[in-house]
Amino acid sequence: MAFSKNGNDGGGGITLALGIVVAIALLSILARGGKSRIGDRWIGVVTGVICLVISIVDIMDVGSMSTEVFAPALGVQIGRGLWLTALS
């Protein structure tokens, strides 16, 4: 028996939006011939730290879940997408 949670629930939408912001910043740097401005340099770092914090919170939240169906307690596994978000 498996339970599933959509990746856009909780912090998934936030990390997706931050990824889009970083992609736009990268494209703007490349459009200027690789020359970045002071703010452009830190967008990737700051959004990466924010995504890491969101991932750690979600991993701890999912890891602490359990439910009982009929008698035995069922544990919850953390999916590949959440691990990939934390590693990136």
Give the separation between CA 64 and CA 68, rounded to whole angstroms.
14
Using the predicted structure, report yes or no on whether residue 2 has a pLDDT greater than 60.
no
Q: What is the mean pLDDT of the chain?
A: 79
Q: 85 or 8: whose pLDDT is higher?
A: 85
- Residues present in the chain in total: 88
pTM of the model: 0.71
Name residue, tokens 């970083």.
Answer: 22
Domain spans in the chain, listed from the N-terminal domain onward: 12-87
Whole-angstrom distance, CA of residue 27 vs CA of residue 20? 11
5: confidence class by pLDDT, cuts 50, 70, 90: low
**According to the model, what pLDDT value does residue 23 have?**
92
E strand or H helix at 54, and its extent? helix 38-63
The pLDDT assigned to 83 comes to 80
What is the DSSP secondary structure assignment for residue 72, as one 8-state letter? S
